[in-house]
A and B are shown apart, each in its own frame.
Chain A
Amino acid sequence: MSLLILSDVHAGYGKMEVLHGIDLYADEGEIVTLIGANGAGKTTTLNAICGLVRITEGTVTFRGREITNWPTKDIVRLGMTQVPEGRKLFSELTVRENLEMGAYLRKDREGVRRDMEYVFELFPRLRERAGQLAGSLSGGEQQMCAIARALMARPQLLLLDEPSLGLAPLLVEQIFEILQRLNADGTTLLLVEQNARMALEIADRAYVMETGRIIMQGPAKELIHDPRVRSAYLGEP
């Protein structure tokens, strides 16, 4: 059974429906990516999964349990965390305190300390900045901190919303390398991206969204060669 299953999920804001029936799944150990243009509903999909947007129809199943419209804190406790779009760090707290916040629901001090070491190893820059206020970090460092914070919850499934947003190409590559390493260490990733090329290169499978529907899906290696994807999202003729 897959780790995460969405079946026929409808969701939206108030009376406006944004998602018109999303079906998608992620198996354990996979990198799954969700690509699409602005306003396609990618972020809404992520928010619906982790209980931040109300689902009006359909179900979300995670680790064999139906979690449709659960409170976010309970979903986090079950092992899923989101790295929100645009970093959204706690700017008045230091980097170390931000990381501690990620482990908010955990009780095992020893494990938290080990995981802190682990993320410092992944992102050595954060160790240098540990005592600094998160609001004073550069864009790339903030993204690293956001990912590290999410990891501190020790999630089985990590939802990433546009981790490449606003970063220099060099930094984007660095972030994606780290995502691959995380995946190799056993974390399943659901990656929402506008930078379709990078996303398809590291993903196992991919979904293409348009106006609230999934219009294409398949192994990433196939989609990357699909002429429609190439012209619409990879900027090639």
Chain B
Amino acid sequence: MRKTLRRSWERLQRQNQERPARWLGTALVALFLFLVLIGPFLPLSPQYRSRAADIFLLCVIYSIIALGLNSVTGYTGLLDLGIVAFASIGAYTATILYDRPWMQFPGSFLVVLLVGGLHAALWGLLRGAPTLRLSGDYYAIVTFAFAEIVRIFIRTEGWLTGGGNGFKNFPAINLFGARLIEGEYQGILKTSGYWEYPHGGVWHGGTAGFYYLSLVLLILTVVVMYRLEDSRTGRAWFAMKADETSAAACGINLSAYKLYAFAISAFFAGVGGALLGFKMNVVSTNVFDFWFSVVVLCGVVLGGMGSIPGVIAGTFIVYGLGELLREQVRIGGIVLQVDDRARFLFFGILLVLVMVFRPQGLFPRRPVEESKKLAVEYDSPLYRLGR
């Protein structure tokens, strides 16, 4: 970790020496990180502050899911259209468990998150094992089909999952004395949380406690992903993505590493899904539907597949924009509002623009431009003739 940090700092300095304009980029990144850090306490009027906190929380949670998706789609290059399956497995597992009377002990919330993630990972393996030889469109179809199977299972097995109505009003989340979230779902969502000081007094922090817990989990996810990327495993994934024959010729066990990627992906999607369920205080197939997968994938592609900062940025853009588009805008006497279903139109336009002008995503994993410039020099007419 320290090595990675030092290396990226050195790279940043080098780049800044070469192109002073990059300080602007660095400043923007710093501003973004600062905003994320103070997410629930933005200096806005109370109504807007809680709305902003809500949007930030949503973006943070979805970033965890998107990073999970990224470890299959970004690292091994397999298109996954069914990440929702794992998010919903994680969400249902965690919330159903958390409702049980024997699950009420300090720290039990972390336990159910973990179990939700592990359960999702198990299904990642079970889905992955028979599909190891599939690639491209065929793999995408399987992932889509599996997500539908999970959705239909949830809808029909009402005794366990609450069926089509979903599952709501979970016990308040207690984490070692802090009440992170408690809420009731009555058409609109109300959430709040508080902290009882050991020596008396109560601090009402809204959802801030839950926000910072989610943020810590996101940071953990990012650390794990960076370590994976830079490990033998990550290299094996990138090798398989480029070419399976060569990867095998290097002695990489293709099946094992693919399964590993599936499990990792499903685990983080499961944890993220569980957080999302608790955040919304309801889990239902209305939330965990096909569009869930599409929008998460949209964020990954937009930001840059395989790039950790890119995936996070893409997710913040997609969900931030998606939530902002819900807002009413009043200009004079006219109220402007985007129809809920029409929001997807904006994602579509955004994606088309990115595909045309920056196909590798907004923040690709490695800047290709610089090395491309060098390659052109050696692309002599002689070589082209030979080809």
A→B interface (CB under 8 Å): 47, 50-52, 71-73, 76-77, 81-84, 88-93, 97, 100-102, 104-105, 129, 132-133, 135-141, 146, 149-150, 153, 166-171
Taken residue by residue from 120 to 161, chain B's Cβ proximity to chain A (1 for < 8 Å, 0 otherwise) reads as 000000000000000000000000000000000000000000
By a CB distance below 8 angstroms, the chain B residues around A89 are 242-243, 246
Give the residue name and chain of the B residue nearest to A82 (CB): B249
Knowing A84-B243, A90-B242, A136-B368, say if A166 contacts B386 (CB, 8 Å): yes
By a CB distance below 8 angstroms, the chain B residues around A138 are 375, 378-379, 383
By a CB distance below 8 angstroms, the chain A residues around B236 are 104
Taken residue by residue from 153 to 189, chain B's Cβ proximity to chain A (1 for < 8 Å, 0 otherwise) reads as 0000000000000000000000000000000000000
Find out whether the CB atom of B385 lies under 8 angstroms from the CB atom of A76. Answer: no
B207-264 interface (Cβ within 8 A of A): 232, 235-236, 238-239, 241-243, 245-253
By a CB distance below 8 angstroms, the chain B residues around A101 are 235, 239, 247, 250, 252
By a CB distance below 8 angstroms, the chain B residues around A139 are 383, 386-387
Docked pose: A127 CA to B239 CA in angstroms = 21
Give the residue name and chain of the A residue nearest to B232 (CB): A104
By a CB distance below 8 angstroms, the chain B residues around A129 are 374
Docked pose: A80 CA to B382 CA in angstroms = 34
Find out whether the CB atom of A76 lies under 8 angstroms from the CB atom of B249. Answer: yes
Find out whether the CB atom of B239 lies under 8 angstroms from the CB atom of A90. Answer: yes
By a CB distance below 8 angstroms, the chain B residues around A71 are 253
A124 vs chain B, min Cβ distance (A): 14
B306: CB under 8 A from chain A?
Answer: yes
Find out whether the CB atom of A100 lies under 8 angstroms from the CB atom of B235. Answer: yes
Find out whether the CB atom of B250 lies under 8 angstroms from the CB atom of A171. Answer: no
Find out whether the CB atom of A168 lies under 8 angstroms from the CB atom of B385. Answer: yes
By a CB distance below 8 angstroms, the chain A residues around B372 are 136
Find out whether the CB atom of A92 lies under 8 angstroms from the CB atom of B306. Answer: yes
Find out whether the CB atom of B245 lies under 8 angstroms from the CB atom of A132. Answer: no
What 7 additional pairs, Cβ within 8 angstroms, besides A88-B243, A91-B242, A150-B249? A51-B248, A52-B245, A97-B235, A105-B251, A133-B368, A146-B246, A171-B383
Most buried by B among A76, A133, A149, A170: A133
Give the residue name and chain of the A residue nearest to B365 (CB): A92
Find out whether the CB atom of B371 lies under 8 angstroms from the CB atom of A73. Answer: no
A-B contacts, 12 of them at CB < 8 A, read A47-B245, A81-B249, A84-B243, A90-B242, A92-B306, A92-B365, A93-B242, A100-B235, A105-B250, A105-B251, A140-B383, A167-B383
Find out whether the CB atom of B251 lies under 8 angstroms from the CB atom of A73. Answer: yes
By a CB distance below 8 angstroms, the chain B residues around A90 are 238-239, 242-243, 246-247
By a CB distance below 8 angstroms, the chain B residues around A51 are 248
By a CB distance below 8 angstroms, the chain A residues around B306 are 92
A136 vs chain B, min Cβ distance (A): 4
By a CB distance below 8 angstroms, the chain B residues around A169 are 386
Docked pose: A140 CA to B383 CA in angstroms = 8
B233 vs chain A, min Cβ distance (A): 11
Docked pose: A93 CA to B236 CA in angstroms = 11
Docked pose: A203 CA to B241 CA in angstroms = 35
Find out whether the CB atom of B250 lies under 8 angstroms from the CB atom of A170. Answer: no
Find out whether the CB atom of A170 lies under 8 angstroms from the CB atom of B374. Answer: no
Find out whether the CB atom of A84 lies under 8 angstroms from the CB atom of B246. Answer: yes
Give the residue name and chain of the A residue nearest to B367 (CB): A133
Find out whether the CB atom of B251 lies under 8 angstroms from the CB atom of A76. Answer: yes
Docked pose: A102 CA to B365 CA in angstroms = 22
By a CB distance below 8 angstroms, the chain A residues around B378 are 138, 141
Find out whether the CB atom of B249 lies under 8 angstroms from the CB atom of A72. Answer: yes
B366: CB under 8 A from chain A?
Answer: yes
By a CB distance below 8 angstroms, the chain B residues around A137 are 375
**Which of these, B251, B374, B385, contacts A104 with CB under 8 Å?**
B251
By a CB distance below 8 angstroms, the chain B residues around A150 are 249
**Which of these, A72, A135, A149, contacts B248 with CB under 8 Å?**
A72
Docked pose: A138 CA to B380 CA in angstroms = 9
By a CB distance below 8 angstroms, the chain A residues around B239 are 90, 93, 101
Docked pose: A91 CA to B247 CA in angstroms = 12
Docked pose: A186 CA to B241 CA in angstroms = 33
Give the residue name and chain of the B residue nearest to A161 (CB): B245
Docked pose: A132 CA to B367 CA in angstroms = 10
B109 vs chain A, min Cβ distance (A): 38
Docked pose: A129 CA to B386 CA in angstroms = 22
Docked pose: A116 CA to B88 CA in angstroms = 47
By a CB distance below 8 angstroms, the chain B residues around A136 are 368, 371-372, 374-375
Docked pose: A77 CA to B386 CA in angstroms = 35
Find out whether the CB atom of B248 lies under 8 angstroms from the CB atom of A73. Answer: yes
Find out whether the CB atom of A132 lies under 8 angstroms from the CB atom of B235. Answer: no
Find out whether the CB atom of A170 lies under 8 angstroms from the CB atom of B245. Answer: no
Docked pose: A91 CA to B379 CA in angstroms = 17
Find out whether the CB atom of B375 lies under 8 angstroms from the CB atom of A166. Answer: no
Find out whether the CB atom of A50 lies under 8 angstroms from the CB atom of B249. Answer: yes
By a CB distance below 8 angstroms, the chain A residues around B366 are 92, 133
